[in-house]
Amino acid sequence: MTKTARRTPIAILASGRGSNFEALMTALDQGRFAAEVKALICDKPGAPVLEKARARGIPAILLHQPGPAQPLGERKLHWRDALLRVLEPLDVRFLVLAGYMRILHDDVIEAYRDPRGYARIVNIHPSLLPAFPGLHSYEQAFRHGCKVTGATVHFVEPEMDSGPICAQEAFAIDGCRDADEVERLGLALEHRLYPETLRWILEEKFDLQCRDTNRRRLCCVRPN
Ligand code: GRF
């Protein structure tokens, strides 16, 4: 990538250990994709990813926490407002989710809706979606006796782990002894696949082809 490549302003959202955050930052340093990381936004106090961001000089923002007794409906609105409040002044073009363990409120998704139909919010999920949405996907694949599993980079829609698939890669797990081994292989794949995919997504160099006239948002995304 040339040094003059446009650096798309992004915010990275994460909740935990932050191995994908680290992989993205390393890839950025090596010029494997171009972005200006305006902030790392986290919903979990004490999450290791906060320290990782600070160590790299990236502003680390912990979202305002809801009160312990707040009912579920109010909590959802709390997270929506807390996130929109920090995002507004950052003025980023894309949100990049890297292990953000909270479902985004529709209003957040709509705030990043592109005229072409998709939302400019990208996620990496540890399975071959639509298989194994939700938690512990590598473990689920292992327990089901799957012969292969994989990782998926996709645009985010309100339903959990749904939205147009941008990139997907499979790996064999038939020989794995336990779910930890599957996860180790999977994370190594994620750390390569995510920057590779963000390279063309953030440059917005892709075609969309709708494949379901009833569900406008079911479409195939391909780099062009
Ligand atoms: C990764 O497996 C990612 O695919 C999923 O959550 C996990 C986050 O791991 N969305 P890390 O915090 O990036 O190490």
Nearest protein Cα to ligand 1, atom 10: 99
Tell me what pLDDT residue 129 has.
96
Which residue is associated with the tokens 């038939």?
174
pLDDT bin (cut points 50, 70, 90) of residue 6 is confident
pTM score: 0.96
Tell me what pLDDT residue 215 has.
67
User: Among this protein's residues, is 78 annotated catalytic?
Assistant: no
190 lines ligand 1 (CB under 6 A): yes
Tell me what pLDDT residue 216 has.
62
How far apart are the C-alpha atoms of 218 and 209, rounded to whole Å?
9
Tell me what pLDDT residue 206 has.
95
Tell me what pLDDT residue 1 has.
56
How far apart are the C-alpha atoms of 172 and 185, rounded to whole Å?
9
Tokens linked to 84 = 């929109």
**Overall residue count recorded for the chain in this entry:** 224
16 lines ligand 1 (CB under 6 A): yes
149 lines ligand 1 (CB under 6 A): no
Among 12, 13, 19, the mutation site with the greatest number of ligand 1 atoms within 8 A of its Cβ is 19
Q: Hey, how many other C-beta atoms are within 10 angstroms of the C-beta on 8?
A: 20
Nearest protein Cα to ligand 1, atom 3: 99
191 lines ligand 1 (CB under 6 A): no
- Which ligand 1 atom is at minimum distance from the Cα of 186? 2
What percent of the chain shows pLDDT beyond 70?
Answer: 96
Mean pLDDT, the chain, rounded, equals: 95
pLDDT digits (tens, 9 = 90+) for 169-211: 999 999 999 999 999 999 999 999 999 999 999 999 999 988 8
Give the Cα-Cα-Cα angle 165, 170, 172 (nearest 5 degrees): 160
